Structure 1
């Protein structure tokens, strides 16, 4: 499959990533259980009457997609593809609460309609009056990667020239309570979290939205070339080295050709073993981590992809992301490796545009 170009990148996260020169103000978050996204003034982008009916995921995605399309200089893409792990869970909780409060009678369908996972892609399409291919992927932590793969196929098959691709997830009170109860989220006594050398289970949970425009042709704004993606639901720790080597070999590369590796260390001692093992394969590469800046959530790889795009374009690595002291004079190839709680492993290879 031929490579495609990432021609714009926009992100709303727990960092203020919408502003210019945001890299200078990246701040690690290690002492709270749940991180909230830094939200823009939605009134600048969305009519006030519509804002009241939108969930946080839809609002974040609408603004992030607006920025991505504007940066790419595109009014209407040839396709809209969105990935999400939890969808519009705020409206899902509201609907279920109504079911319980009203004894399953006299229910208004609004919250149910707005709670479906494809609401985000649909609302973006409605906002820009785009009647093209519209699809949503719900594949936990590899939702963005599946969306990228679909966009790559659409472009390679000649079905589209420019594709808006994004991923978003929000938090809801009840879900966060349940995550605390089942120890998905770290206990307060285990904070501050040590992301790289954790001895406790659980993560700090975040949220956010990242959107990109993928195109067939390179432009003056291009951030990176998306070379390849590989996804595996299960990888045994002893199979990890082969998982990495095979992926690189399929792209005619070896470990020495990778200038930067971005790993998804989450502070969960049980599942971070994969990243620790992966580090052994890239002794001569710059090793980075990012979830101390974004928190863990289903589509947190949108944040790492956004950061990788800026690293390739600016040829600079933020010190706050560094694990080791290795730095290359030129950054050409970046490998991103992510999973969620030891499942849905994804590898993404980006090359300097």
Structure 2
């Protein structure tokens, strides 16, 4: 079966509710990018919103946007990926344990802190009793959900699948990540991603959902051809891995019209990206996206949002270009991502 992206919803550090890339901007003044909050009142009541974490609210908004665009009322499966889950409610519950001496605890934050809360809330809102699954697999959580969604269509288990990647950031988590060196130091000042010479990266948060269907429609963005995930790949064999992945799909390096990479500005872990951008795909148009979305476990979902829009609009915005090269047509797009040298993923999409 074919797998087509027929609807997308995205809540991120960028305005994505207008024309593609029209609201994109680069914020180099902070090392944790704030989210562009949608009009939550358009999706649920203020009373309901008060009981929801950022991940739940953003997940519901993004999934609703994707389903609306695809003209889908009820998905045959809901599959999400998240690295940190609803960390905001986890923080609240753990803080309450300490503040209340482990006594008189309300269970609300604990109940809502589980990683599958977003998928469950979406299903409850839709009254959807179909297959519902959440993958918690670090930086390949979203790709795991994408593989599962494609399998659901391939096996005929569903005709339409709602998949998404969601992660949130809290002040407390950000402070821990800064302490661990995952986030660039505050005193560094400006925080450019491309050509960065310092360790750490710029973090963010977001929710990006896709409606996958086995048939094309008027809203089709692109076809999802193949996905592959690897926990570890040595830099010196990365090019061979990419060659094998493309060969399995009847393609070569010259057939790739755009390479989308997850460059995040962490100078300690850029070797793998350089293996592709400066060697194997040096003459291929290249794009990056984490200067727009920030880094988080499911940031690659924002990368797929970018790639799918490039295929649909046949336009690579200058704000995401790495090497300035262009092609008259963008038919095959390869996405490559990893985080801190592990959890490598390849995603191949093509013009439908």
The equivalent of 2:130 in structure 1 is 132
Deviations 1:91-118 (A, max 9, x none): 0000001111112122111110000000
1:193 and 2:191 equivalent? yes
CA distance in 2, matches of 1:54, 1:189: 34
- Where do residues 12-31 of structure 1 align in structure 2 (5 Å cutoff)? 12-17=11-16, 19-31=17-29
1:317 and 2:316 equivalent? yes
CA distance in 1, matches of 2:226, 2:213: 15
- Where do residues 1-353 of structure 1 align in structure 2 (5 Å cutoff)? 2-17=1-16, 19-279=17-277, 280-353=279-352
Deviations 1:76-102 (A, max 9, x none): 100000110101000000000111111
Deviations 1:235-275 (A, max 9, x none): 11111111111111111111000000001110100111111
Number of equivalences: 351
CA distance in 1, matches of 2:260, 2:300: 10
CA distance in 1, matches of 2:189, 2:137: 29
Aligned residues of 1:35 and 1:206 also touching (Cα < 8 A): yes
Deviations 1:15-46 (A, max 9, x none): 111x2125123111222111111011111101
CA distance in 1, matches of 2:282, 2:176: 39
- Structure 2: runs of 5+ lacking an equivalent: none
Offset, 1:332: 0.2
CA distance in 1, matches of 2:20, 2:308: 14
Aligned residues of 2:258 and 2:330 also touching (Cα < 8 A): yes
CA distance in 1, matches of 2:265, 2:192: 6
Offset, 1:197: 1.6
Aligned residues of 2:192 and 2:291 also touching (Cα < 8 A): no
Deviations 1:172-207 (A, max 9, x none): 111111011111100123342332222110001111
Deviations 1:108-148 (A, max 9, x none): 11110000000000000011111100000011111111001
Partner secondary structure for residue 349 of structure 1: strand
CA distance in 2, matches of 1:24, 1:10: 16
CA RMSD between the two structures: 1.0
- Structure 1: runs of 5+ lacking an equivalent: none
Offset, 1:48: 2.0
Partner secondary structure for residue 74 of structure 1: coil
CA distance in 1, matches of 2:115, 2:340: 22
Partner secondary structure for residue 335 of structure 1: strand
TM-score (norm 2): 0.98
**Residues 344 and 32 from structure 1, CA distance in 2 versus in 1: closer, same or farther, beyond 3 angstroms?**
same
Partner secondary structure for residue 291 of structure 2: helix
